Amino acid sequence: MERVPRYSPYELRKARLEAGLTLDDMKEALGLKSKGRISEWENGLRYPSLKNLYKLAALYKIPEAQLFWDLRQEAVQEIDAWFKKVEKRKQRNALEKNNPP
């Protein structure tokens, strides 16, 4: 089972537009048969391969991480919430240790 890379469709479209490239330009640059494939990527309907994500970043002259910005933000929020939960657990355990029943 192939793992599907997650990326931000919004960042993908934004980067293409900022680079001044059309869907036809992308089709030609990536050697695709249809520009509809890129549109599907930008709308989150299909996933580009990891190799194509790297090609897109190179075409747009942006760091690869920019295409994953939304996902990074989501991950940071999840980790922050986890740290808060762990800290509460540590505080509760410390209280229980200092105040046994």
Per-residue confidence (pLDDT) for residue 55, from 0 to 100: 92
Between CA 53 and CA 57 the distance in angstroms is 6
Domains belonging to the chain, first-starting first, are: 9-98 (1.10.260.40)
Q: Is the pLDDT of residue 1 over 50?
A: no
Confidence (pTM): 0.62
Per-residue confidence (pLDDT) for residue 68, from 0 to 100: 76
DSSP labels, 9-35: HHHHHHHHHHHT--HHHHHHHHT-S-T
Assign 2 a pLDDT band (cuts: 50, 70, 90): very low
Per-residue confidence (pLDDT) for residue 87, from 0 to 100: 94
DSSP labels, 40-64: HHHTTSS---HHHHHHHHHHHTS-G
Token duo for residue 11: 């960042």
Per-residue confidence (pLDDT) for residue 42, from 0 to 100: 92
Q: Is the pLDDT of residue 73 over 80?
A: no
Q: What is the pLDDT of residues 5-50, one digit of tens each?
A: 567 788 889 889 999 999 999 999 999 999 999 999 999 888 888 8
Q: What is the pLDDT of residues 51-71, one digit of tens each?
A: 888 899 999 998 888 777 766
